[in-house]
Structure 1
Amino acid sequence: MERQTYYVNVNPTSMEDISPTKVDDGELIEYEIEANEAEYKDLQNLLLEVQAHDMELGDLFTFKHYNDEEIDRDRNEFQRGLEDVYRMIYKLGTPETKRQIESLGLNL
């Protein structure tokens, strides 16, 4: 399958953004990747899952936020998802993207 260049935005409020066009915004962190159609779809689905978990509507209307164990479990699950996102971006990333992610000091 043919690879194309994409730019991935990992902003928590719009994490699903994968664009074939680089956005020229100094405040936006984008990672350049090269992916085929299947890899693109896999990353898109992963981004949507992580963002959906972070913004679960059900949590807004419960008392789960008063339960420390539930909060810790939720944070850990979100963190694992975010690490999966960075791991996949690293795998598909250009050499510059790999350097950027390595500089974050994540344990991937």
Structure 2
Amino acid sequence: MPKTTYWVSVGRQEIVPAGEAVIRENYEFEIRADEAEHLQLQELFQAMKLVDKQLINRARTPYEAFPEKDQDMKNRSYDEQLKNIYFLIHRLGTKETRQHIERMNLGDLPHYQNINSKPEQVKT
């Protein structure tokens, strides 16, 4: 499948074709993706919005007691969604995009071959 260049903003959860009349500085990353990869990134952003909405709803009732395990699980879910987004952007990204994400020091990034894979164990 042919690949198209897109600009991506993780904070705004936006993906726009590079040719559109937008301000490039509003987007952190440049990727090259085919239609299926573009859809996969959109789905990750949608999943992130659902997790984000759950956390916002929970925050509206700060007086309600939550078991520590439940809080940790919901926060971990948000973190994992965010990592999955960065891992996919890294895989699809230009050289500059990959270098930028690697400097973010997200951990395990070089070991991800596929967004759905587990990181390989480093032998010592």
Which TM-score bucket, shorter chain as reference? 0.7 to 0.9
Instruction: Return closer, same or farther for 1:44/1:64 CA change in 2, 3 Å cut-off.
Output: farther
Gaps of 5+ in 1: none
Q: TM-score normalized by structure 2?
A: 0.73
Instruction: Return closer, same or farther for 1:78/1:65 CA change in 2, 3 Å cut-off.
Output: farther
Specify the SS of the correspondent of 1:39: helix
Instruction: Return closer, same or farther for 1:74/1:65 CA change in 2, 3 Å cut-off.
Output: farther
Partner of 1:51: 49
Specify the SS of the correspondent of 2:48: helix
Partner of 2:16: 19
Gaps of 5+ in 2: 110-124
Specify the SS of the correspondent of 1:66: coil
Partner of 1:39: 37
Q: CA RMSD in A?
A: 2.1
Q: TM-score normalized by structure 1?
A: 0.82
Instruction: Return closer, same or farther for 1:36/1:42 CA change in 2, 3 Å cut-off.
Output: same
1:19-98 mapped onto 2 (5 Å cutoff): 19-21=16-18, 23-25=23-25, 28-56=26-54, 58-59=57-58, 66-67=65-66, 68-98=68-98
Instruction: Return closer, same or farther for 1:105/1:62 CA change in 2, 3 Å cut-off.
Output: same
> Which amino acid is the alignment partner of residue 34 of structure 1?
R
Partner of 1:6: 6
The one of the two structures with greater contact order (alpha-carbon pairs below 8 A, sep at least 6) is 1
Task: Give aligned-pair identity as a percent.
Answer: 31
